[in-house]
Chains A and B, each alone.
Chain A
């Protein structure tokens, strides 16, 4: 772009890439819509009713995947805040080889989800995987079905996700830590604060907005978790640990062409995260500017 984008060009972008798709999505969800079929009859709220009525075939796959996404979010978000924060504190300290440690923690994040999923599928396989072999060699139970039984599959999915993405959150925390003025720590030291007290009263308050931002993006990422479940567990055992996105993906797999149902499901599914964002947006926007991350 040659001229600085003014208000009108933002509006144009917003309308083209945000507003129209949303309205179009809503429109699709109210019609029997297949882009290859000439007729797209209006069906009103049929799709929404079908997703909401317990005796419909679409009810349990959809709500099961909603539930799976909720379980995954609740289990993974606290870990994805605490562990990266701890890592960031370590990386913020002065020691030899600090850059190497930073790189090591960040390394998994550069891998694509397909690579991560396939590699961990080999490691976690019940019968031929490395993890169970290792557990066996240590004299521990070696027949845990990490990918095909509950709750072991949740442990596997959360564990892999933490391993994979903690570097990203840690880097943002690190940026936040480096933003806290040194004088505050010096003042705390003069006042005779212990390390823990300095952490409680200087570090945590200083990270407030960054934490709000990280929490928000982690919740969104977890609620949208797809690849790990899709690649690693392929929906076993049964549909119970298919997260929302994986559940939706099977809804549109191969030839089941129910785009309108998918749209209706997507509309319902985006409500919780959207509400959360509306409530928390003030902190998130402040956090973005504080941590210097351009969202």
Chain B
């Protein structure tokens, strides 16, 4: 729990420095920075002015404090704190005040706080929220920073690169990619002699039967809440479906692929691999306690499971449908409207974002996958547990970043999956009902954001 109070950043209470003092500080910071990153410069440096006033040079002005918001409250929290500490130790004139709040609260508070002038200067958010937040004018374009950082489209997967752009301007600087994966208990798998983690529907089913034979009665607990809709989305894509039409005007998750996906999930309960009514977080607790052998969850849980000492493996989820596919999302950095109004804060914030974006390999310590193709070549990532998922990076699917779409999924897809998993409605019916709702909600969203 990171209960840092809301904090509106003001200059740190340092004694005034002489002009020479400033220069000295700036130089010190720059050297420390270069030493820390092995000479990998942030930006173009010599090629002068960037767009929007940020040149790529480290901020060298008066000492100030930036407010930084994020939702890293899980196993990823300590890794982020370590990065912040490192940044502060390398930049004498920039202090960082971090506020970590759970993601749902984060998205609710960010616009309100920004409107009230109490928001952060800088923060991290999910890729699929960028467009909505940009449309609501909470965050500002960062094209100058992207240019100064030499962010190049070819260094990123198109699915991570594209959605950071709204109305031809870049609002998000990609940091990482995270996806769903299959966790399995190695001790359980050893018992009936399953040597390889399952990779498709048949081998998955076989493994479940073997596990049951070895005395693990319910080897695969199926949640009815989080992250069941992420499992559904992954399977939907595997069966060739799409949750929404490209431009976000249509809902298509209830078609044949969706029914196949959800039916497979319900089948796991019907076959007795999972108990009924697996409630919030119970499947994860059960996996941690060794009561179930397999669970699908986000890779951000890796740190937590490692700390628990459980012998686990974390390969890709098996290909149940016709082609490999898995749900993914990405954390991206943003700058708020509030910070953009002040040139010093804005430059300091861009220095900070630029620095963090270069640490994406070190961020592997949080269980994440670096967003840059080049960072995925670095040892920090290649030696991490999640490197086992590296092949999966080409099968990642992201929800489309259409303004307002983020609010539709919880009221439609999540409800349908919940109802089907609890046996309240058969999969077809649950999906059809939710799809009808989604069509109406999408119309509302369009009338609100569509120009």
Contacts and interface: CB of A to CB of B under 8 A. Distances in A.
A255 B129 contact: yes
Which of under 10, 10 to 19, 20 to 34, or 35 or more describes the interface residues of A? 20 to 34
Interface stretch (A87-95, A119-127, A157-165, A272-280): A119-127
A208 interface: no
A276 B411 CA distance: 32
Contact of A253 (B129, B278, B410): B410
Contacts of B289: 128
28 contacts: A36-B115, A56-B440, A57-B440, A125-B279, A126-B275, A126-B277, A127-B221, A127-B278, A127-B282, A128-B285, A128-B286, A128-B289, A147-B279, A235-B418, A236-B224, A236-B280, A237-B418, A238-B415, A250-B410, A250-B411, A253-B104, A253-B407, A254-B108, A255-B129, A256-B404, A256-B441, A257-B111, A257-B136
Interface in A118-146: 121, 125-128, 143, 145
B448 interface: yes
B424 A121 contact: no
Nearest to B106: A254
Contact of B407 (A35, A147, A257): A257
Interface in B109-124: 111-112, 115
Interface in B405-451: 406-408, 410-411, 415, 418-419, 422, 424-425, 436-437, 440-441, 444, 447-448
Interface string B219-233: 001001100000000
Contacts of B31: none
Nearest to A57: B440
Contacts of B264: none
B279 A148 contact: yes
B138 interface: yes
A256 B277 contact: no
Contact of B422 (A36, A125, A149, A256): A149
A61 interface: yes
Q: Which 6 A-B pairs have the closest CB atoms?
A: A256-B407, A145-B277, A36-B136, A57-B440, A255-B406, A126-B277
B410 A254 contact: yes
A258 interface: yes
B406 A254 contact: yes
Contacts of A147: 277, 279-280
B108 A253 contact: yes
A64 to B, nearest CB: 11
Contact of A238 (B282, B410, B424): B424
Interface of A: 32, 34-37, 56-57, 61, 121, 125-128, 143, 145, 147-149, 234-239, 250-258
Chain B binding surface, main DSSP class: helix
B358 interface: no
A126 B279 contact: yes
B276 interface: yes
A36 B138 contact: yes
A237 B424 contact: yes
Contacts of B406: 254-256
A237 B447 CA distance: 31
A258 B407 CA distance: 10
